[in-house]
Amino acid sequence: MAELYQTTKQNVSLHVRNILSEAELEEDSVVKESLTTAADGKRYRTLYYSLPMIIAVGYRVKSGIATRFRQWATERLGEYLVKGFTLDDERLKGGGGLVDYFDELLARIREIRASEARVYQRIREIFALATDYREGEDATQVFFATMQNKMHFAAAGMTAAEIVRRRADAAQPNMGLTTWKGGRVLKRDVATAKNYLDTKEIDTLNRITVMFLDQAEFRAQRRQDIRMNDWTAFLDKFLRDTELPVLADAGSISHDDAEAWAHEQYDAFAERRRLAAEAEAERGYVDDLRKSAKTLDSQRKEPTTKKSQKPPGRMKPKRGPRKTGDK
């Protein structure tokens, strides 16, 4: 680190101690001790520091290169806060000898583009180019629901409502959900079909959504004369071309029925969860009582120590009987 930031080892050591003493970083997570064999053949204790420590030191060192590092880091952080992302474009283009995270980046982009809010926004923009589009009508929502059902059917063999109705189960761990927001399953999570899909189904759904959006956007950019009903036919053709099953009807379960079922299951699930939490707390309470009882019992069995007696005082010598004539 001293070489990296062009400073002294003593300066780096000072900053490391301050970072740890101020609890900016936890020592166990950023420092590792290892024995290293030196040129003289002897083994010496060496401390290795992880990347978070190297970055933290860079924010404290006073040197020209450390200043440039902070300027670069501030620029990256600012881009992230404003845009929501920051990328090392050249590294992603070239690959090089570093670990290639490009596939992970693509998967995350697919997931973002396939999010319900993002898809609905893009579909509305594309749909608005139809010659018979009328803003404010329910046709946009109907089309979006149709597209969503067709894509869920292609990925999981069921419509969104059918997925919720068949997989929402109060007796299952987390009510059968595979993903949800926050640490606990809440009522807002249980009526969303995508939350019940497994990893393979989610990946398929994301890919279908992104590929369809790409083709729909390309078609919209060519300014072809297209009506709203044509979009459904275009979606069906797209699914057939990719050899995926095509939903021919609205499915066997309505959205309202699926939502009512999910909420009913959630109420039962929440009650089971509450009872389980109370039982766990009761077990903890009983364990605490047992530990306290054992402690008291062991204290009773300990022998009592006698109180220390005061050391005897200086004894006065006994005097014999007085003889006649003694004064």
pLDDT of residue 263: 97
What's the number of CA atoms in the CB half-sphere (13 Å) around residue 48?
7
**Which stretches in the chain have pLDDT values below 50?**
327
Residues 6+ apart with CB under 8 A from 195: 177, 178, 179, 180, 189
Question: Which stretch of DSSP H or E encloses residue 46?
Answer: strand 43-49
* Confidence at residue 3, expressed as pLDDT on a 0 to 100 scale: 95
| Per-residue confidence (pLDDT) for residue 282, from 0 to 100 | 80
pTM assigned to the model: 0.61
User: What does the alpha-carbon distance between residue 80 and residue 87 come to, in Å, rounded to a whole number?
Assistant: 9
Question: Distance (Å, rounded) from C-alpha 152 to C-alpha 253?
Answer: 14
Based on its alpha-carbon atoms, the radius of gyration of the chain, rounded to whole angstroms, reads 37
Token pair, residue 32, equals: 């590792």
Chain-centre distance for alpha carbon 221: 38
Name the amino acid, one letter, at 273.
R
Helix residue ranges per DSSP H, 168-198: none
**CB atoms inside a 10 Å sphere around CB 60:** 17
**For residues 274 and 315, what is the distance between their CA atoms, to the nearest angstrom?**
76
